[in-house]
Structures are given as C-alpha cells and as structure tokens.
Amino acid sequence: MMRRLACLFLLGFVVASPLSSARAQGTRLWTTSSFQQLEQGTPHGVAIASDGRLLPGPASKLVYTTPSTYVWSVAADKQGNAYLATGSPATVIKVTPAGKATTLFKSKDLNVQAVTVGPHGSVYAATLPSGKIYKLNPDTTNATSATAQVVFDPAKTKEKSKYVWALKFGPKGGLYIATGEPAAIYRVAPGGKPALFYKSDEVHIHTLAFAPNGDLIAGSVGSGLVYRINKAGQAFVLFDAPKKETPSAAVPPDGTIYPAGVGAKGQTPPPPLPAGPAPRLSPGAPRDRRPRDRDPGATPRTGPAGPAGSGPGDGSGVRARIGQTPDRRIGPGPPRPPATAPPIAPGARTPRRPARQRPAPGAVGPARAGAAPPSRR
C-alpha cells in the first residue's frame, strides 16, 4: 500500500511540474511600428516603408557570388547583362541573365570604383587609386591595364584629381566624370579628349544624374550640396543637405530630385593655436639636442673637455643648466677673450706652491702657527 502511494505521489509531481513552469513564464506583448524599430530586423520578402508600414517586396534570388570582397558599382546593357565593378581584386565581371559570369577586365589597382555602359555598348570602368578610365569591349575577356584603351588619366590634367567616383553619359553621348580632391567634373566628347566642365570648392563630386531638360545634377561631399549645372557649365546650388555627403541621386522623368545623404555635419577640426613667443624650458624638461648656429667670430673656449663643441654637450660647446644663463653668448656681439695665465718674465723661476706642513710625531691636530717645521732625513 505504501509503495502504491509513493508511485502516485511521484506521478503527480511530474505532471504538475510543466504546468507550474508554464504558468510562471507568462505571456509578453510588445508593439513595433516605427521604421527605426523595424529596420533592426532582417526583412524577407517584405519592404519597410518610411512610415513603418510593411509592404510586399519584390522577389529576389542569388544569381552570382563574386570572388572579390566588394562590389562598388553595377551597370546593365540593353540585353540585360550586368557589369560588376569589384574591389580586392579589382575586376569587371559580366553576368548574363542566366547567371553565367565572365571576367572582362583585371587591374593591379585596389578597386574598380565605377562602371557604366556607353550608347554603343562599350563598357567604361574607372579604377582607384590611379583614377584612370578604361574603355572595354563587352565581347572580350581578361583585358588588363596594359591592353585596354585609356580614355581618361587624371595625371594628364591640370587639376590632377586623385579619385574618380561616378561615370554618366549625357543626352548627346558625352561621358561625364565626377572626381575628388579636387572636386571637378570632366566631359569627354565622342571621339574627343577630356575637358574640364565644372570645378567646385567642395572636396569631392560623388554622384551624377541628368534632368529631363539635359541639365546635370551633381552631389558633393563636404557640405552635402546638390548642384544643377546647365549645358554651359554654370552651376546653381539647389539644396544644402543636412548631411555632409551626397553619395547618390535619382531623377525620375517628372524632374523631381531625390538625393541621398549620409554623415553628420559640424565635425570640424579645432582652430590652430595663435602664434606667440616660444615656450621657456622649466626645470625637469628635456634638453634640446639639436645643434645651434654659433657666431663665426667667437673664440672657442678650451677646458677639460677640449675645444667648444668637442665635448659631450649639445653640439654648440655651450653648457648650461635649465633655468640658468650660459657662460658664453650665442649670436652677434663682441667675442670674449679666452682666459690666459699672467705673463712670466724671462729667466724667472716658476713659483712653486708651498710645501704642505705635516704634524710632528706625537702631535695631535694641525701644526701650530710659529712652530718649526719637522726635520727631514
């Protein structure tokens, strides 16, 4: 009987344990409705609107994985082929709609920063840090910097910009090039040479787009300005963004401009210190070991360390402690004569120092004044 009661008690404990733990866990309810909260998650098949609404997103699938670390730019031709500008290694890869990939171009630069397709199907690629732009045949493979045609080299321009950020073809077939340090826009006419189209006071021109009337829209880095540049190269600031960079801009057929902004303004370096007298050294400060210019007319000093400048000093022959005045002047001024001994007459004996008196045997302390000197044997 006792054994049956023990079994029933253990069975009741096992059944009640999950119920008690579930009852202690409880239910938590929270609400997420803002864009800032929703973007912290990973959307799958949905799009997050700026007002927090969730909308059905476009379907996506993986087409190709590049061997490079970065994909900096993508362009497409009329046949649906995609051209990828990659970095580390710097290549231009052509990917067909079926996912077949071929390498059009290889470079020893770090990145292929921008890529675009011309009106006649040629591919144009800009590399960094050389800043060169190459014209590529989309039907060839494995072109290199030595074999591809160079259409733009910043080293041959007056401004010598260091970076190429964007490439855009205009309505009349001209290639527009956005550069940085300095910020400038170049135009390459069909069959022509590069020419400066517009130069800005900003650090970089980062993005290019064309309005329906043919005006060029450009975004800068530094103050986050959005320019409208007419066909004559005259620029007008349309928008001073609250961000310091305008990395991209889109212009639909109705002419509305949608610039993207990134980076906070106001992070400027501190002003330089005002000019003033040189600081004085204080005791304990390190000595200046740099050699100093010495007066050519000054007479070098001699001493136990030898001529001035030959001892283990600071190279100028002047030895002084911090906070004290050196014993010789440095700079213009009459030289001090060297210290010399008094002259000795011819035939005179050199005076000798008096002999040191020794105490008499048995005497304690020094010899008394007037006492006879001890005899010498």
The pLDDT assigned to 211 comes to 96
Assign 57 a pLDDT band (cuts: 50, 70, 90): confident
Q: In this structure, what CATH number is given to the domain that contains residue 184?
A: 2.120.10.30
Asked if residue 257 and residue 162 are part of one domain, the reply reads yes
pLDDT in tens, 142-165: 999 999 999 999 999 999 999 999
Q: With respect to residue 217, please indicate whether it lies within any of the assigned structural domains.
A: yes
Express each pLDDT in 15-49 by its tens digit.
444 444 445 577 888 788 788 888 888 888 888 88
Same domain assignment for residues 119 and 168: no
Give the up-direction half-sphere exposure of residue 90: CA atoms within 13 A in the CB hemisphere. 21
Q: Which of 103-117, 310-324, 345-359 has the lowest mean pLDDT?
A: 310-324
Residue with the larger pLDDT of the pair 287 and 238: 238
Report whether pLDDT(368) > 80: no
- pLDDT recorded at residue 17: 47
Residue 272 resides in a domain: no
On whether residue 329 sits in a domain, the answer given is no
Tell me the residue length of the chain.
Answer: 377
Q: Is residue 36 part of a domain?
A: no
| 345 vs 324, more confident | 345
* Number of compact structural domains in the chain: 2
Same domain flag for 130 and 94: yes
Same domain, 171 and 95: no
- The pLDDT tens digits for 201-247 are 999 999 999 999 999 999 999 999 999 999 999 999 999 999 999 99
Let me know whether 139 and 123 are in one domain. Answer: yes
The answer to the question of residue 213 being in a domain is yes
Is 108 in the same domain as 119? yes
**Amino acid letter, residue 271:** P
The tens digit of pLDDT for each residue in 112-127 reads 999 999 999 999 999 9
Indicate whether 117 and 199 sit together in one domain: no
At residue 103, the pLDDT reads 96
In this structure, the answer to whether residues 101 and 123 fall within a common structural domain is yes
Cα-flanking dihedrals φ and ψ of residue 204, to 5°? -140, 150
The pLDDT value recorded for residue 304 is: 43
Would residue 57 count as lying in a domain? no
Q: Is residue 314 part of a domain?
A: no
> Which residues, at least 6 apart from 260, have a Cβ–Cβ distance to it below 8 Å?
219, 246, 247, 248, 249
Q: Are residues 171 and 141 in the same domain?
A: no
Task: Write down the pTM of the prediction.
Answer: 0.61
Please say which residue of 263, 281, 304 terminates a domain. Answer: 263
Q: Indicate whether 227 belongs to any domain.
A: yes
Q: Which of the listed residues 229, 263, 297 is the one where a domain comes to its end? A: 263
For residue 59, the model assigns a pLDDT of 81
Bond preceding residue 182 cis, omega within 30 of 0: yes
* 85 close to 69: Cβ distance less than 8 angstroms: no
109 vs 282: which has the higher pLDDT:
109
* Residues 145 and 159 occupy one common structural domain: no
Residues 6+ apart with CB under 8 A from 257: 209, 211, 217, 226, 238, 239, 249, 250, 251
Binned at pLDDT 50, 70 and 90, residue 275 comes out as low
Q: Is the pLDDT confidence value at 318 over 50?
A: no
- Please check whether residues 178 and 250 belong to one and the same domain: yes
pLDDT tens-digit readout, 179-190: 999 999 999 999
CATH number at residue 102: 2.40.10.500
Written as six digits, the tokens of 336 are 């001090």
Residues 81 and 175 in one domain: no
pLDDT interval class at 256 (50, 70, 90): very high
Q: 263, 288, 314: which is the final residue of a domain?
A: 263
Whether pLDDT at 255 is above 90:
yes
Domain that includes residue 202, residue range = 154-263
Could you give the percent of the chain with pLDDT greater than 90? 53
Nearest residue to 376 (alpha-carbon basis) of 354, 358, 362, 352? 358
pLDDT tens-place string over residues 129-141: 999 999 999 999 9
Q: Tokens 């304690």 appear where? A: 364
Give pLDDT tens digits for 333-354.
555 555 555 565 555 565 555 5
Least confidently predicted of 10-14, 86-90, 258-262: 10-14
